[in-house]
Amino acid sequence: MKRHIFIAFFGLIILAGCTIPTYKGGIEPIYPGVRSVGKSYETVDTLTPTFRWKSDTAANCTYDFSIWDAGDTVANGPHGVRLLRGPALYYKEALTRPEHTVELPLGPDSSYYWSARLRCNGQVSEWATYDYTQWVGIAAAQGKNWPFGFKTPKIIAK
């Protein structure tokens, strides 16, 4: 009995603070990736970053890519939050490779969401998102259908 309690306790310590994402829409972000949940996003190194993703698509598919202003979260039931995306700021269609470099500079020190979707044989998928489970001690938090977040670097005037 003590051994089972020790193993369970040790397992919870290992999982504490661990975020387990599940990607949806046939696309998994590579850069910037999912670092954690909430508004703690990976900071890209330039205001015109190159986004990369993995995809399990056929060769005849293309991608749409979009960036949205980071919105806010609102209560969604007694124990959850729902993400509200801000307005779309950037959009490209018919990309043939699973990557894209932003052509116009984004604002410095700002938070955004990005996603890609598939176009295959006249069908357009939903924007790729992820679900997550984050372990905090013995409790877990969950989220559904989150786009991929990122932050731009601060630009210091010379």
Q: Output 12-15 pairs: Cβ under 8 A, ≥24 positions apart.
A: 12/135, 12/137, 12/138, 15/135
* Global model pTM greater than 0.85: no
| Count: domains in the chain | 1
Is 158 inside any structural domain?
Answer: no
Confidence at residue 11, expressed as pLDDT on a 0 to 100 scale:
45
CA 34/CA 130 separation, integer angstroms: 9
Which structural domain range is residue 81 located in?
A: 2-151
Is 78 inside any structural domain?
Answer: yes
Is 53 inside any structural domain?
Answer: yes
Cβ neighbours of 16 (radius 10 Å): 13
Is 100 inside any structural domain?
Answer: yes
Q: Which of 47, 86, 43, 92 is nearest to 68 (CA)?
A: 86
Q: Which residues of the chain have pLDDT under 70?
A: 1-20, 35-40, 58, 73-83, 135, 137-138, 140-141, 157-158
Is 156 inside any structural domain?
Answer: no
